[in-house]
Amino acid sequence: MKTMKKLGLAALLTGTLLVAGGASAQDHGGGHVPARQSWSFAGPFGTFDTAQLQRGFQVFREVCSNCHSMTKLNFRNLSQPGGPQFSEAQVKALAAEYKVQDGPNEDGKMFERNGRPSDAWPSPYPNAQAARAAIGAAPPDMSLLAKARSYSRGFPMFLVDAVIQYQEHGVDYIYALLNGYSKNDDPTWNDYMPGNHIAMAKPLSDGQVDYTDGSPKTSQQYARDVAAFLMWSAEPHLEQRKKTGFRVMAFLILLSSLLYFTKKKIWANVAH
């Protein structure tokens, strides 16, 4: 009788999970489901690859930042541990290349000055309307894009993603999207954009960005590096979160086994 009950419960649970999984395993809003890439920061022990983040920043700066803003990025973040880790002198020189608005001064006027490491990354357009007027559509701010475009892979893979891999998804989507312009006769077509039509012209082509570390100058490599950079900007403390997460899991497993053996010991001499 007991076994029957247990079996019934197990079947019910599996059924619920399957139904829930079926519901979330959608087709990513009409686009293809992005293929999984292997990233240095995937998995419970993942870490960012500094050289990759530096290349990704180069792509962002030379290409994407002409249209997209990144309001949550400050110049000085680029020299912080765990990120692209440029030197402070490099960041200072970089910031000084940009003009930022400051003020008001004593006459009540706004003025322009050279950028400083504590300044936010300058936006290419003052607001979404200005962007729309200039290029036809407003590009989303890039600060949190890699997290904002995350999705669930559905049952059972979401369990694997959540418990074992800690794999980020938004980053796979960005990589796929950048390489998803598959129709030469329709430049607005993108295999991965939900709805398939995108107001961003294909931003990357081979040879466009001049890497100095010998990495391939291909649009695939650019897409991979800039996607990694966007993952970092969206979650600069990802490494710390994973380390903490792992410790918590280890602790919970230890605690559960201690409780199990305690229970066994306490009930050992009780007839039941």
By CB under 6 A, name the binding residues for ligand HEC: 59, 63-64, 66-68, 135, 137, 139-140, 145, 149, 174, 177-178, 193, 198-201, 203-204, 226
d(CA 247, CA 240): 11
**Can you tell me whether residue 99 is helix, strand or coil?**
strand
According to DSSP, residue 187 is labeled T
Contacts of 186 (CB under 8 A, 6+ apart): none
58 or 167: CB nearest ligand HEC: 58
User: In 3D, which of 58, 36, 28, 56 has the Cα closest to residue 223?
Assistant: 56
78 or 174: CB nearest ligand HEC: 174
Report in angstroms how near the CB of residue 20 gets to ligand HEC at its nearest: 25
Report in angstroms how near the CB of residue 188 gets to ligand HEC at its nearest: 8
Report in angstroms how near the CB of residue 4 gets to ligand HEC at its nearest: 49
222 or 242: CB nearest ligand HEC: 222
According to DSSP, residue 34 is labeled P
C-alpha to C-alpha distances, 268 to 261, 264, 271, nearest whole angstrom: 10, 6, 8
Per-residue tokens: 34? 């992005």
63 or 120: CB nearest ligand HEC: 63
